[in-house]
Amino acid sequence: MVEKFLETFAKMIADHPQKIRVEREDIDDSFCTITLFADENDTGKLIGKNGKMISSIKSVISGCKAKENRSYRINIQAQ
């Protein structure tokens, strides 16, 4: 659910939506890492000025944390 949200949201704001890709790695039962791969030019948009965009994304995902009882780490990586 979180991966699909991230992918859809990133494609809406990216200049190169065809290059957006999301991978999930489950660390254990209560923690996973989600990596969002994007074009080099789009990583700045996804992080935002002073990290405000990624901070907002993490705030939305914290609602899923409460519902699913699972913590998420979000990484943005340039392709």
Give DSSP secondary structure letters for 4-56.
HHHHHHHHHH-S-GGG-EEEEEEEETTEEEEEEEE-HHHHHHHH-GGGHHHHH
Mean pLDDT of 74-78: 92
Helix (H, G, I), strand (E, B) or coil at 76: strand
Query: Burial of 12 by CB count in 10 Å (0-12 exposed, 13-18 middle, 19+ buried)?
Result: exposed
Whether residue 56 contacts residue 27, with contact meaning beta carbons closer than 8 Å, is answered with no
Q: What are the boundaries of each domain within the chain?
A: 2-78
Tell me the pLDDT tens digit for each residue of 14-66: 999 999 999 999 999 889 999 999 999 999 999 999 989 999 988 888 887 77
Give the CATH fold of the 2-78 domain: GMP Synthetase; Chain A, domain 3 (3.30.300)
Quote the pTM value.
0.85
Given this model, what pLDDT does residue 66 score? 73
Given this model, what pLDDT does residue 50 score? 92
